[in-house]
Structure 1
Amino acid sequence: MNRRRPTFLAALTLTATAALTLSACGSDDKASGENDKIAGADTGGEASASASPSASDTGGRPEITFPADAKNVFEYQKTGDAAKDAVLADSTLSVNSVDEAIFKASTDTKALGFYNAESALSDSITYVNGYIDKQRTWVGETRYFDYKVNLVKDDQAYVTYCSDESKSFIKDKKTGKVDDTPTTADSYVLYNTKLAKSAEGVWQTTDIASERGSKTCQP
Protein backbone atom coordinates (compact mmCIF):
# COMPACT_ATOMS: atom_id res chain seq x y z
CA MET A 1 0.00 0.00 0.00
CA ASN A 2 1.40 3.38 -0.98
CA ARG A 3 2.00 5.63 1.96
CA ARG A 4 1.07 9.12 0.94
CA ARG A 5 0.08 9.85 -2.63
CA PRO A 6 -0.34 8.34 -6.06
CA THR A 7 2.91 8.85 -7.84
CA PHE A 8 2.70 12.09 -9.65
CA LEU A 9 1.36 12.45 -12.54
CA ALA A 10 2.25 14.05 -15.85
CA ALA A 11 4.94 12.79 -18.20
CA LEU A 12 8.00 15.04 -18.18
CA THR A 13 10.02 15.52 -21.35
CA LEU A 14 13.67 16.20 -20.58
CA THR A 15 15.85 18.00 -23.07
CA ALA A 16 19.19 16.46 -23.96
CA THR A 17 20.96 19.17 -21.98
CA ALA A 18 18.88 18.55 -18.90
CA ALA A 19 19.35 14.80 -19.15
CA LEU A 20 23.11 15.22 -18.86
CA THR A 21 22.68 16.68 -15.39
CA LEU A 22 19.54 14.85 -14.35
CA SER A 23 20.80 11.42 -15.30
CA ALA A 24 18.99 9.79 -12.39
CA CYS A 25 15.59 10.33 -14.02
CA GLY A 26 13.32 7.32 -13.90
CA SER A 27 10.04 6.45 -15.53
CA ASP A 28 6.85 8.01 -14.28
CA ASP A 29 3.52 6.42 -13.49
CA LYS A 30 0.17 8.14 -13.60
CA ALA A 31 -2.39 8.09 -10.88
CA SER A 32 -4.70 10.31 -8.92
CA GLY A 33 -5.71 10.03 -5.29
CA GLU A 34 -4.14 10.40 -1.93
CA ASN A 35 -1.31 7.90 -1.60
CA ASP A 36 1.61 9.80 -3.16
CA LYS A 37 3.76 12.76 -2.16
CA ILE A 38 4.45 16.04 -3.93
CA ALA A 39 6.17 19.04 -2.29
CA GLY A 40 7.23 22.82 -1.97
CA ALA A 41 8.23 25.45 0.58
CA ASP A 42 11.14 27.00 2.36
CA THR A 43 14.63 25.81 1.53
CA GLY A 44 17.46 25.45 3.95
CA GLY A 45 20.82 26.96 4.48
CA GLU A 46 24.03 25.30 3.52
CA ALA A 47 24.03 21.57 4.15
CA SER A 48 21.24 21.96 6.63
CA ALA A 49 17.71 20.67 6.79
CA SER A 50 14.91 23.18 6.53
CA ALA A 51 11.43 22.48 7.81
CA SER A 52 8.28 23.69 6.13
CA PRO A 53 6.22 25.69 5.88
CA SER A 54 7.75 28.96 4.77
CA ALA A 55 6.06 32.19 5.73
CA SER A 56 7.36 33.83 2.57
CA ASP A 57 5.20 36.94 2.42
CA THR A 58 7.66 39.38 0.85
CA GLY A 59 7.62 40.54 -2.73
CA GLY A 60 3.97 39.63 -3.14
CA ARG A 61 4.61 35.98 -2.35
CA PRO A 62 1.76 34.28 -0.49
CA GLU A 63 2.28 32.86 2.96
CA ILE A 64 2.13 29.05 3.23
CA THR A 65 0.89 27.56 6.48
CA PHE A 66 0.88 23.97 7.74
CA PRO A 67 -0.90 22.37 10.69
CA ALA A 68 1.22 21.52 13.71
CA ASP A 69 1.17 17.78 13.03
CA ALA A 70 2.66 17.90 9.52
CA LYS A 71 6.04 18.99 8.22
CA ASN A 72 8.17 18.87 5.06
CA VAL A 73 11.95 18.94 5.48
CA PHE A 74 14.15 19.90 2.52
CA GLU A 75 17.80 18.90 2.57
CA TYR A 76 20.20 20.40 0.04
CA GLN A 77 23.27 22.56 -0.21
CA LYS A 78 23.08 25.96 -1.84
CA THR A 79 25.00 25.97 -5.10
CA GLY A 80 26.41 29.47 -4.79
CA ASP A 81 24.73 30.35 -8.08
CA ALA A 82 21.95 32.86 -7.37
CA ALA A 83 19.73 31.65 -10.22
CA LYS A 84 20.04 27.97 -9.34
CA ASP A 85 19.43 28.68 -5.67
CA ALA A 86 16.28 30.61 -6.59
CA VAL A 87 15.09 27.64 -8.65
CA LEU A 88 15.63 25.29 -5.71
CA ALA A 89 13.85 27.61 -3.30
CA ASP A 90 10.77 27.96 -5.48
CA SER A 91 10.78 24.25 -6.22
CA THR A 92 10.29 23.53 -2.54
CA LEU A 93 7.58 26.18 -2.31
CA SER A 94 5.74 24.42 -5.11
CA VAL A 95 5.72 21.26 -3.03
CA ASN A 96 4.44 22.98 0.08
CA SER A 97 1.77 24.82 -1.87
CA VAL A 98 0.20 21.50 -2.88
CA ASP A 99 0.31 20.19 0.67
CA GLU A 100 -1.21 23.39 2.00
CA ALA A 101 -4.11 22.93 -0.43
CA ILE A 102 -4.62 19.43 0.99
CA PHE A 103 -4.62 20.73 4.56
CA LYS A 104 -7.07 23.51 3.70
CA ALA A 105 -9.19 21.17 1.57
CA SER A 106 -9.22 23.77 -1.19
CA THR A 107 -7.65 24.13 -4.63
CA ASP A 108 -8.32 27.87 -4.52
CA THR A 109 -5.38 28.78 -2.28
CA LYS A 110 -3.14 31.67 -3.34
CA ALA A 111 0.05 29.62 -3.28
CA LEU A 112 -1.10 26.71 -5.46
CA GLY A 113 -1.47 28.79 -8.61
CA PHE A 114 1.43 31.03 -7.66
CA TYR A 115 4.10 28.29 -7.61
CA ASN A 116 2.57 25.90 -10.17
CA ALA A 117 1.49 26.38 -13.78
CA GLU A 118 0.51 24.47 -16.93
CA SER A 119 0.20 20.69 -16.50
CA ALA A 120 1.75 20.76 -13.02
CA LEU A 121 -1.07 23.00 -11.83
CA SER A 122 -3.88 20.98 -13.41
CA ASP A 123 -2.37 17.74 -12.11
CA SER A 124 -1.96 19.25 -8.65
CA ILE A 125 -5.62 20.25 -8.61
CA THR A 126 -6.64 16.71 -9.56
CA TYR A 127 -4.32 15.35 -6.93
CA VAL A 128 -5.59 17.60 -4.14
CA ASN A 129 -9.18 16.82 -5.08
CA GLY A 130 -8.38 13.15 -4.51
CA TYR A 131 -7.76 13.99 -0.85
CA ILE A 132 -10.76 16.31 -0.59
CA ASP A 133 -13.20 13.80 -2.10
CA LYS A 134 -12.16 11.11 0.37
CA GLN A 135 -11.93 13.54 3.29
CA ARG A 136 -8.33 12.68 3.94
CA THR A 137 -5.19 14.55 4.91
CA TRP A 138 -1.71 13.52 6.06
CA VAL A 139 0.37 13.82 9.20
CA GLY A 140 4.01 13.35 10.13
CA GLU A 141 7.19 14.36 8.36
CA THR A 142 8.29 13.98 4.74
CA ARG A 143 11.95 14.46 3.89
CA TYR A 144 13.21 15.70 0.51
CA PHE A 145 16.85 15.14 -0.43
CA ASP A 146 19.42 14.46 -3.17
CA TYR A 147 18.59 17.60 -5.15
CA LYS A 148 20.05 18.18 -8.61
CA VAL A 149 19.35 21.37 -10.55
CA ASN A 150 20.11 22.26 -14.17
CA LEU A 151 19.54 25.77 -15.52
CA VAL A 152 19.18 25.33 -19.29
CA LYS A 153 17.95 28.84 -20.14
CA ASP A 154 17.51 32.11 -18.28
CA ASP A 155 13.87 31.15 -17.81
CA GLN A 156 13.90 27.33 -17.84
CA ALA A 157 15.29 24.77 -15.41
CA TYR A 158 15.04 21.14 -14.36
CA VAL A 159 15.20 19.77 -10.82
CA THR A 160 15.31 16.18 -9.61
CA TYR A 161 15.02 15.07 -6.01
CA CYS A 162 13.96 12.20 -3.78
CA SER A 163 11.39 11.99 -1.03
CA ASP A 164 11.32 9.80 2.07
CA GLU A 165 7.72 9.22 3.20
CA SER A 166 8.53 6.64 5.88
CA LYS A 167 7.46 9.06 8.61
CA SER A 168 4.32 10.52 6.99
CA PHE A 169 0.91 8.89 6.99
CA ILE A 170 -2.61 9.24 5.62
CA LYS A 171 -5.23 10.45 8.11
CA ASP A 172 -9.00 10.05 7.79
CA LYS A 173 -10.52 13.43 8.69
CA LYS A 174 -13.89 11.89 9.60
CA THR A 175 -12.62 9.27 12.04
CA GLY A 176 -9.22 10.72 12.95
CA LYS A 177 -7.65 7.34 12.18
CA VAL A 178 -4.05 7.37 10.93
CA ASP A 179 -2.81 4.62 8.59
CA ASP A 180 0.40 3.51 10.28
CA THR A 181 1.73 1.74 7.19
CA PRO A 182 5.14 0.00 7.34
CA THR A 183 8.22 1.37 5.60
CA THR A 184 8.87 -0.32 2.25
CA ALA A 185 10.62 0.53 -1.03
CA ASP A 186 7.45 2.41 -1.99
CA SER A 187 8.11 4.88 0.82
CA TYR A 188 10.76 6.48 -1.43
CA VAL A 189 9.97 8.47 -4.55
CA LEU A 190 12.09 10.02 -7.29
CA TYR A 191 10.79 13.29 -8.77
CA ASN A 192 11.73 14.90 -12.08
CA THR A 193 10.41 18.44 -12.49
CA LYS A 194 10.50 21.23 -15.04
CA LEU A 195 10.30 24.88 -14.00
CA ALA A 196 9.80 28.13 -15.90
CA LYS A 197 10.45 31.67 -14.69
CA SER A 198 7.34 33.82 -14.75
CA ALA A 199 7.18 37.50 -15.68
CA GLU A 200 7.10 38.23 -11.95
CA GLY A 201 10.37 36.35 -11.43
CA VAL A 202 8.84 33.28 -9.78
CA TRP A 203 10.18 29.86 -10.75
CA GLN A 204 6.93 27.99 -11.31
CA THR A 205 6.84 24.21 -11.56
CA THR A 206 5.23 23.43 -14.92
CA ASP A 207 5.67 19.67 -15.25
CA ILE A 208 6.22 16.77 -12.83
CA ALA A 209 7.01 13.08 -13.24
CA SER A 210 7.76 10.58 -10.50
CA GLU A 211 8.82 7.02 -9.84
CA ARG A 212 7.70 5.39 -6.59
CA GLY A 213 10.08 2.79 -5.20
CA SER A 214 12.98 4.16 -7.25
CA LYS A 215 16.27 2.47 -6.42
CA THR A 216 17.95 5.86 -6.80
CA CYS A 217 16.26 7.04 -3.62
CA GLN A 218 16.56 3.89 -1.50
CA PRO A 219 18.62 4.22 1.72
Structure 2
Amino acid sequence: MALLLTGCGGSDASDTKDSDKTADADAGSGSSKPSASATSDDIDRPQIKLPSDVKNVFEGGTTGDPAKDAVLADNERRINSIDEAITVNAKKYPALKFYSKGDALVSAASYIMSFRDENRSFTGTTRYYDREVTLHKAGAASVTYCMDATQTYPKNGTTGKVDRSVKASPSDYVFYNTRLEKNAEGVWQTTTVSSTEAAKSCM
Protein backbone atom coordinates (compact mmCIF):
# COMPACT_ATOMS: atom_id res chain seq x y z
CA MET A 1 0.00 0.00 0.00
CA ALA A 2 1.37 3.36 -0.98
CA LEU A 3 0.64 6.79 0.43
CA LEU A 4 -1.71 8.34 -2.08
CA LEU A 5 -4.36 11.00 -2.53
CA THR A 6 -7.92 10.75 -3.64
CA GLY A 7 -9.53 12.15 -6.62
CA CYS A 8 -8.61 13.06 -10.10
CA GLY A 9 -11.42 10.98 -11.31
CA GLY A 10 -9.42 8.18 -9.94
CA SER A 11 -6.37 7.29 -7.93
CA ASP A 12 -4.21 9.96 -6.37
CA ALA A 13 -1.24 7.78 -7.08
CA SER A 14 1.88 9.64 -8.09
CA ASP A 15 2.44 7.20 -10.91
CA THR A 16 0.33 7.07 -14.05
CA LYS A 17 -1.46 3.85 -14.82
CA ASP A 18 -2.83 2.45 -18.01
CA SER A 19 -1.55 5.33 -20.11
CA ASP A 20 -3.15 7.84 -17.75
CA LYS A 21 -6.52 6.07 -17.80
CA THR A 22 -7.44 7.70 -14.52
CA ALA A 23 -7.22 11.29 -14.50
CA ASP A 24 -10.48 11.32 -5.28
CA ALA A 25 -14.76 14.16 -2.46
CA ASP A 26 -18.18 15.42 -3.48
CA ALA A 27 -20.80 16.66 -5.85
CA GLY A 28 -22.45 16.50 -9.18
CA SER A 29 -20.98 17.42 -12.51
CA GLY A 30 -19.36 20.83 -12.49
CA SER A 31 -20.79 21.53 -9.07
CA SER A 32 -19.31 22.64 -5.78
CA LYS A 33 -22.27 21.29 -3.86
CA PRO A 34 -21.59 18.20 -1.74
CA SER A 35 -23.74 15.11 -1.87
CA ALA A 36 -26.48 14.29 0.58
CA SER A 37 -23.99 13.52 3.34
CA ALA A 38 -22.56 17.05 3.29
CA THR A 39 -24.96 18.61 5.75
CA SER A 40 -24.99 22.38 6.25
CA ASP A 41 -23.13 24.04 9.12
CA ASP A 42 -21.83 27.45 10.15
CA ILE A 43 -18.29 26.92 8.84
CA ASP A 44 -17.04 29.44 6.28
CA ARG A 45 -15.94 27.01 3.59
CA PRO A 46 -14.09 27.81 0.36
CA GLN A 47 -16.06 27.21 -2.81
CA ILE A 48 -15.20 24.19 -4.94
CA LYS A 49 -16.29 24.22 -8.57
CA LEU A 50 -15.49 21.41 -10.96
CA PRO A 51 -15.63 21.68 -14.76
CA SER A 52 -18.85 20.57 -16.41
CA ASP A 53 -17.14 17.50 -17.85
CA VAL A 54 -15.90 16.22 -14.47
CA LYS A 55 -18.34 14.44 -12.20
CA ASN A 56 -17.87 12.65 -8.88
CA VAL A 57 -20.66 10.34 -7.77
CA PHE A 58 -20.77 9.42 -4.08
CA GLU A 59 -22.95 6.54 -2.98
CA GLY A 60 -24.17 6.04 0.57
CA GLY A 61 -24.20 9.70 1.45
CA THR A 62 -25.87 9.42 4.84
CA THR A 63 -25.51 7.00 7.72
CA GLY A 64 -28.17 8.29 10.10
CA ASP A 65 -25.42 9.44 12.47
CA PRO A 66 -24.77 13.23 12.18
CA ALA A 67 -21.18 12.84 13.39
CA LYS A 68 -20.36 10.23 10.75
CA ASP A 69 -22.19 12.18 8.07
CA ALA A 70 -20.00 15.22 8.82
CA VAL A 71 -16.87 13.11 8.35
CA LEU A 72 -18.14 11.75 5.03
CA ALA A 73 -19.02 15.25 3.85
CA ASP A 74 -15.51 16.59 4.43
CA ASN A 75 -13.98 13.48 2.89
CA GLU A 76 -16.02 14.20 -0.23
CA ARG A 77 -15.02 17.85 -0.24
CA ARG A 78 -11.37 16.86 -0.06
CA ILE A 79 -11.69 14.62 -3.10
CA ASN A 80 -13.34 17.45 -5.01
CA SER A 81 -10.66 19.91 -3.90
CA ILE A 82 -7.98 17.71 -5.47
CA ASP A 83 -9.93 17.29 -8.68
CA GLU A 84 -10.45 21.04 -8.84
CA ALA A 85 -6.72 21.70 -8.51
CA ILE A 86 -6.03 19.34 -11.42
CA THR A 87 -8.80 20.34 -13.79
CA VAL A 88 -9.40 24.06 -13.12
CA ASN A 89 -6.95 26.72 -14.28
CA ALA A 90 -6.68 29.02 -11.27
CA LYS A 91 -3.95 30.79 -9.32
CA LYS A 92 -5.06 29.49 -5.94
CA TYR A 93 -6.95 26.47 -4.62
CA PRO A 94 -7.90 27.33 -1.03
CA ALA A 95 -10.03 24.21 -0.56
CA LEU A 96 -7.03 21.93 -0.95
CA LYS A 97 -5.36 23.10 2.26
CA PHE A 98 -8.72 23.53 3.95
CA TYR A 99 -9.46 19.79 3.81
CA SER A 100 -5.95 18.26 3.88
CA LYS A 101 -2.95 18.58 6.16
CA GLY A 102 0.27 16.81 7.02
CA ASP A 103 1.24 13.86 4.85
CA ALA A 104 -2.07 13.98 3.00
CA LEU A 105 -1.47 17.58 1.93
CA VAL A 106 2.10 16.88 0.82
CA SER A 107 1.11 13.86 -1.24
CA ALA A 108 -1.85 15.74 -2.73
CA ALA A 109 0.39 18.60 -3.85
CA SER A 110 2.88 16.17 -5.37
CA TYR A 111 0.13 14.33 -7.22
CA ILE A 112 -1.36 17.53 -8.59
CA MET A 113 2.06 18.75 -9.76
CA SER A 114 2.57 15.50 -11.66
CA PHE A 115 -0.38 16.52 -13.83
CA ARG A 116 0.80 20.11 -14.16
CA ASP A 117 4.34 19.11 -15.10
CA GLU A 118 3.09 16.85 -17.89
CA ASN A 119 0.30 19.20 -18.98
CA ARG A 120 -2.32 16.56 -18.24
CA SER A 121 -5.88 16.71 -17.01
CA PHE A 122 -8.85 14.34 -17.14
CA THR A 123 -12.54 14.14 -17.89
CA GLY A 124 -15.39 11.79 -17.05
CA THR A 125 -17.24 10.31 -14.10
CA THR A 126 -15.71 8.72 -11.00
CA ARG A 127 -17.79 6.63 -8.63
CA TYR A 128 -17.13 6.30 -4.88
CA TYR A 129 -18.90 3.53 -2.96
CA ASP A 130 -18.78 1.07 -0.02
CA ARG A 131 -17.96 4.04 2.19
CA GLU A 132 -17.50 3.27 5.88
CA VAL A 133 -16.79 5.68 8.75
CA THR A 134 -15.24 4.77 12.10
CA LEU A 135 -15.13 7.39 14.84
CA HIS A 136 -12.13 7.32 17.17
CA LYS A 137 -11.26 9.16 20.35
CA ALA A 138 -9.77 12.65 20.53
CA GLY A 139 -11.46 14.01 17.43
CA ALA A 140 -10.17 11.44 14.96
CA ALA A 141 -11.92 9.24 12.44
CA SER A 142 -11.19 6.91 9.56
CA VAL A 143 -12.99 6.50 6.25
CA THR A 144 -12.57 3.55 3.92
CA TYR A 145 -14.09 3.45 0.46
CA CYS A 146 -13.81 2.15 -3.07
CA MET A 147 -13.31 4.09 -6.26
CA ASP A 148 -14.30 3.16 -9.80
CA ALA A 149 -12.47 5.25 -12.41
CA THR A 150 -13.37 3.18 -15.45
CA GLN A 151 -15.34 6.09 -16.90
CA THR A 152 -12.56 8.68 -16.77
CA TYR A 153 -10.20 9.56 -19.62
CA PRO A 154 -6.94 11.50 -19.98
CA LYS A 155 -7.19 15.00 -21.38
CA ASN A 156 -4.56 17.31 -22.83
CA GLY A 157 -4.25 20.35 -20.61
CA THR A 158 -3.63 22.74 -23.50
CA THR A 159 -5.73 21.48 -26.40
CA GLY A 160 -8.49 19.89 -24.34
CA LYS A 161 -8.28 16.78 -26.53
CA VAL A 162 -9.61 13.67 -24.78
CA ASP A 163 -8.14 10.22 -25.39
CA ARG A 164 -11.07 7.83 -25.22
CA SER A 165 -9.08 4.96 -26.68
CA VAL A 166 -7.67 4.11 -23.26
CA LYS A 167 -9.38 0.97 -22.00
CA ALA A 168 -10.59 0.28 -18.48
CA SER A 169 -8.52 -2.13 -16.41
CA PRO A 170 -8.50 -3.68 -12.90
CA SER A 171 -6.21 -0.87 -11.70
CA ASP A 172 -9.13 1.52 -12.14
CA TYR A 173 -10.66 -0.02 -9.02
CA VAL A 174 -8.97 1.37 -5.93
CA PHE A 175 -9.52 0.83 -2.20
CA TYR A 176 -8.75 3.77 0.08
CA ASN A 177 -8.09 3.95 3.80
CA THR A 178 -7.95 7.49 5.19
CA ARG A 179 -7.49 9.12 8.57
CA LEU A 180 -9.13 12.43 9.43
CA GLU A 181 -8.78 14.82 12.36
CA LYS A 182 -11.24 17.49 13.42
CA ASN A 183 -9.64 20.93 13.69
CA ALA A 184 -10.61 23.85 15.90
CA GLU A 185 -13.04 25.15 13.27
CA GLY A 186 -14.87 21.85 13.15
CA VAL A 187 -13.49 20.75 9.78
CA TRP A 188 -12.53 17.10 9.31
CA GLN A 189 -9.14 17.34 7.65
CA THR A 190 -7.57 14.29 6.03
CA THR A 191 -4.09 13.62 7.44
CA THR A 192 -3.06 10.35 5.80
CA VAL A 193 -4.28 8.30 2.85
CA SER A 194 -3.27 4.82 1.73
CA SER A 195 -4.62 2.98 -1.29
CA THR A 196 -4.60 -0.37 -3.03
CA GLU A 197 -5.05 -0.51 -6.78
CA ALA A 198 -6.83 -3.39 -8.51
CA ALA A 199 -8.55 -4.08 -5.20
CA LYS A 200 -10.64 -7.22 -5.50
CA SER A 201 -12.96 -5.99 -2.75
CA CYS A 202 -13.96 -3.07 -4.99
CA MET A 203 -14.68 -5.03 -8.16
Give me the whole-angstrom Cα distance separating, in 1, the residues matched to 2:140 and 2:179. Answer: 8
2:43–2:186 Cα contact (<8 Å) kept: no
Look up the match of 1:20: none
Look up the match of 2:14: 31
Look up the match of 1:162: 146
| Cα distance change, pair 203–37 in 1 and its aligned pair in 2 (3 A) | farther
TM-score, scaled relative to structure 1: 0.77
Residue deviations 1:92-130, cap 9 Å, x none? 001000000111256831100001111000100000001
1:191–1:210 Cα contact (<8 Å) kept: yes
Look up the match of 1:45: none
Give me the whole-angstrom Cα distance separating, in 2, the residues matched to 1:163 and 1:104. Answer: 21
1:39–1:93 Cα contact (<8 Å) kept: no
Q: Secondary structure at the match of 1:60?
A: coil
Look up the match of 1:121: 105
1:33 CA drift (Å): 5.4
TM-score, scaled relative to structure 2: 0.83
Q: 2:32 aligns with which of 54, 62, 65?
A: 54
1:51–1:74 Cα contact (<8 Å) kept: no
Name the aligned partner's letter for residue 187 of structure 1. D
List alignment gaps of at least 5 residues for structure 1: 1-6, 12-28, 43-49
Residue deviations 1:57-96, cap 9 Å, x none? 9631011001111111111141111111100010000100
| Cα distance change, pair 104–52 in 1 and its aligned pair in 2 (3 A) | closer
Look up the match of 2:177: 192
Look up the match of 1:210: 195
Matches within 5 A, 1:47-196: 53-55=31-33, 59-105=43-89, 108-180=92-164, 181-196=166-181
1:8–1:38 Cα contact (<8 Å) kept: no
1:38–1:95 Cα contact (<8 Å) kept: no
1:175 CA drift (Å): 3.6
Moved more, 31-40 or 200-209: 31-40
Instruction: Output the aligned Cα RMSD.
Output: 2.8
Equivalent residue pairs, number: 189
